[in-house]
Chain A
Amino acid sequence: AQRVTQPEKLLSVFKGAPVELKCNYSYSGSPELFWYVQYSRQRLQLLLRHISRESIKGFTADLNKGETSFHLKKPFAQEEDSAMYYCALLIQGAQKLVFGQGTRLTINP
């Protein structure tokens, strides 16, 4: 069965500290994974996807097929990173997304 797990519902770190939001998946096919972010009073939007292998707003995420993980990392958190983060898995063929439960990240000054 396809599933995305984000074990932390809430995560709070201080400004300047490193951040890691965990995401694990279960999928029998070739995984295509995304991180979506929702800032306060804004719509859900794409942060990054594993196939582009790029850094967005200082965030990176590496797909680890051995550990079936796609953790989101940033070396130095900023206050504007406070938001709700969702890890999502694309189901091939149907082209639909399965979302994790989401992690609310709070960056303390």
Chain B
Amino acid sequence: SAVISQKPSRDICQRGTSLTIQCQVDSQVTMMFWYRQQPGQSLTLIATANQGSEATYESGFVIDKFPISRPNLTFSTLTVSNMSPEDSSIYLCSGTGGDTEAFFGQGTRLTVV
């Protein structure tokens, strides 16, 4: 099984600023994903982080707002840009390896004030 280290675990940010969240996996994973979990709601997929190419975004999410990088098979970042209070949420990264089991980071609890 893979272990994903995600940081920061939480942050309080001013509106209009940006925050970059990092995920480091202890082994190579085939796929990496970024999710958002708003208070009291389920996990919503933001995008699939593709190694060496642009991420694949889900409907309602755009690259300008959530730029994603994945330079190699073990690392990815998500930036939440030009934040507003509506961006307050938990952000999660996950990865899948040879089979279909997904592993998750601890999550980043973001509060925008």
**Contact check: which of B30, B41, B48, B96 meets A101 at CB < 8 Å?**
B41
Per-residue contact bits, chain A 83-102, to B (CB 8 Å; 1 contact, 0 not): 00010101000111111111
User: Which residues of B92-113 are within 8 A (CB) of A?
Assistant: 92, 94, 96, 100-107
> Are A46 and B102 CB-contacts (below 8 A) given A96-B48, A101-B42?
yes
Contact with A along B43-79 (1 / 0, CB 8 A): 1010010000000100000000000000000000000
A90 to B96, CA, bound (A): 11
Does the CB pair A102–B42 fall under 8 Å? yes
Extra contacts besides A96-B48, A97-B43 (18): CB < 8 Å: A32-B100, A34-B100, A34-B102, A43-B105, A43-B106, A43-B107, A45-B104, A49-B100, A49-B101, A86-B43, A94-B48, A95-B30, A95-B31, A96-B31, A97-B45, A97-B102, A101-B41, A101-B42
Contact A86 B42 (CB under 8 A): yes
A100/B31 in contact, CB under 8 A: no
Which residues of B are in contact with A by a Cβ distance under 8 Å? 30-31, 33, 41-43, 45, 48, 56, 92, 94, 96, 100-107
Q: Which residue of the partner chain B has the closest CB to A98?
A: B45
**Can you give 17 A-B contacts (C-beta < 8 A)?**
A34-B100, A36-B102, A43-B105, A44-B92, A46-B102, A49-B100, A86-B42, A86-B43, A94-B48, A95-B100, A96-B33, A96-B45, A97-B33, A97-B94, A97-B102, A99-B42, A100-B42
Q: How many residues of A sit at the interface, in one of the four size bands?
A: 20 to 34
B104 CB contacts on chain A under 8 angstroms: 43-45
> In chain B, what residue has the closest Cβ to A44?
B104
CA distance A13 to B30 in the complex (A): 39
Bound CA–CA A49/B104 (angstroms): 16
